[in-house]
Structure formats: C-alpha cells, structure tokens
C-alpha cells in the first residue's frame, strides 16, 4: 500500500516534465512564433536570417540648438582665364536638426593667369576678356537644410556618420574688372600695356554688387563636436556697368574644411 502511494505522489511530476518536453518539440501550428531550444552558441546558426532589419536611432551628430563654426580653403573652379583661390568662414545656429541659419564670408587671393589667358593677351593675338569680373570678397547670410543623414563602413573597421545639406543665401560681392587686373599684371611683368579694344571698354558702376548663392555639401562626423566638410556653391552676381549694361556671371566655388559644433552633445 505504501508503494502505491509513493508512485501516485510522483506521477503528476513525471507527467508535467513529459508535457514540457512535448511543448518544446511541438510544431507551431499558428506559424506566428517559432520555438527553438538553444543549448550552445553553435545552435544560433539554426536561426533563420531576416529579410529586412530596421534600426531606429538618433543622429550621431545632434544639431538642435547648437552653434556651428566652419573654416575652409576654397577655389573658383569654373573661371576660364584665372586661378582663383582663398579661404571661407561660416558661423551658424540650428533651430532644429534639419534647419539652420548663419552668415558666411569668402576672401580670394589675387588671381593667377591660366595658360589660356597668357595665349590670348600675348602677341600676336592681344585679345582681352572684356566681359569678365573677378570676385575679391563675398559676404552674406544663408539658410541651411539638412534632410539626409546616414552612415557607412570603411573597410568594415570604422563607421562614419554623415549629413547631406543644401543652402540658399544672399549677400554682396566685391569684384574687380578683369581688364584692370590684366593691365596691372602686364605692367608689373614689363610686358607692356593693353591697347587694342581696351580704351572703349565699359567701366563698372561700383565695386560691389548683390549676389545670390545656392550650395550642396556633406559633412562627415569625426566626433560629436568636429566634422570634415566639403561644399559646392554657386554664386550669381548682378554686375552693372556705367552705360547701364547688366552682366550676370556665375561662379562655382568648391570648399574643403572643418566644422566645430557647440555646446557639447547631450547624449551618447
């Protein structure tokens, strides 16, 4: 009699253990949740790879209510007759992650002649680019929109975070008449002076004129305070001569520089 009581006492526990094993190995008829017993790391290989993975995370480089300072080297890349290079500086502030405002300035060094210009103005051609103006300095304000951001891996070793942005701006452009620059350069080098067709050239009504700008750029985060930056910027100037003629030259400026963001980031 005692033996029967003991067997009856352990019977529910044995049934429960068997039921649990059956549940682990039972197929999932609902096909909503797949059960798998993982006993070792090698069992992880049995997992079915997902078709897509979505990761939601904040931007690595936060910008809301942060200031931005930029210092770059820049060059005008579309001038036919001269090499134009210098530096640029920007100071801005972001009111949201995607929207910011700021001021900027571009200062260019004295131009250098390209081979095209030397061939044109030299004998026997003596052709002068009468309708050309050269930027000395630009100063203005801009609006920056940063709608795209992401990251990529470099040789599967380092993750680089980036932001793409666009700018719209307006300001004043201080310019020089290219003919005056050529004339001074010829006198300086002892190659004579301009004569053919230059005496009747139009004179600029001023040395500064309104200009508009549109830019496209990208910044790569080095830390949450520093970033490397490149930018292409188009400048449209409205130049007027004394005879009332309006001239609207396009300048395309390419810049490489560094950005600094402040105050420090509040997360990560």
Per-residue confidence (pLDDT) for residue 209, from 0 to 100: 97
Q: Are 38 and 44 in contact (CB under 8 A)?
A: yes
227-241 residues labelled b (16+ CB within 10 A) or e (exposed): bebebebebebebeb
Residue 129 exposed, middle or buried by CB count within 10 Å (0-12, 13-18, 19+) = middle
Radius of gyration of the chain (CA): 34
Pull the structure tokens for residue 29. 């008829």
Helix, strand, coil proportions of the chain in percent (round to 5)?
A: 20, 45, 35
Q: Rounded to a whole number, what is the distance in angstroms from the first to the last CA of the chain?
A: 70
Pull the structure tokens for residue 153. 């891996």
Run means of pLDDT, 10 residues per run, the chain, 268 residues: 44 48 54 66 64 65 94 95 95 96 96 84 71 90 95 88 97 90 72 51 87 98 96 96 90 98 80
> Which DSSP string do the residues of 136-183 spell out, in sequence order?
EEEEEEEEEEEEEEEEEEETTTEEEEEEEEEEEEEEEEEEEEHHHHHH
Q: pTM value?
A: 0.74
Residue 27 exposed, middle or buried by CB count within 10 Å (0-12, 13-18, 19+) = exposed
């Amino acid at each position: 009699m005692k033996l029967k009581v003991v067997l009856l006492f352990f019977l529910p526990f044995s049934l429960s253990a068997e039921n649990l094993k059956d549940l682990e190995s039972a197929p999932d008829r609902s096909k909503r949740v797949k059960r798998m017993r993982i006993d070792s790391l090698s069992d992880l290989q049995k997992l079915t790879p997902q078709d897509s993975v979505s990761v939601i995370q904040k931007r690595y480089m936060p910008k809301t209510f942060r200031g931005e300072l930029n210092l770059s080297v820049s060059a005008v890349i579309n001038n036919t007759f001269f090499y134009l290079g210098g530096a640029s500086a920007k100071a801005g502030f972001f009111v949201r992650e995607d929207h910011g405002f700021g001021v900027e300035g571009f200062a260019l060094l004295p131009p250098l002649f390209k081979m095209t210009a030397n061939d044109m103005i030299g004998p026997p051609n003596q052709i002068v680019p009468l309708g050309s103006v050269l930027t000395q300095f630009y100063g203005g304000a801009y609006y920056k929109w940063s709608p795209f951001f992401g990251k990529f891996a470099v040789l599967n070793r380092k993750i680089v975070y980036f932001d793409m942005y666009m700018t719209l701006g307006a300001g004043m452009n201080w310019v020089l008449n290219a003919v005056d620059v050529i004339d001074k350069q010829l006198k300086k080098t002892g190659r004579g002076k301009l004569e053919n067709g230059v005496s009747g050239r139009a004179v600029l009504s001023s040395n500064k004129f309104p200009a508009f700008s549109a830019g496209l750029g990208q910044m790569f985060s080095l830390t949450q305070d520093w970033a490397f930056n490149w930018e292409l910027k188009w400048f449209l100037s409205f130049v007027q001569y004394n005879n009332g003629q309006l001239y609207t030259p396009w300048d395309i400026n390419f810049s490489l520089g560094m950005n600094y963001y402040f105050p420090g980031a509040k997360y990560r």
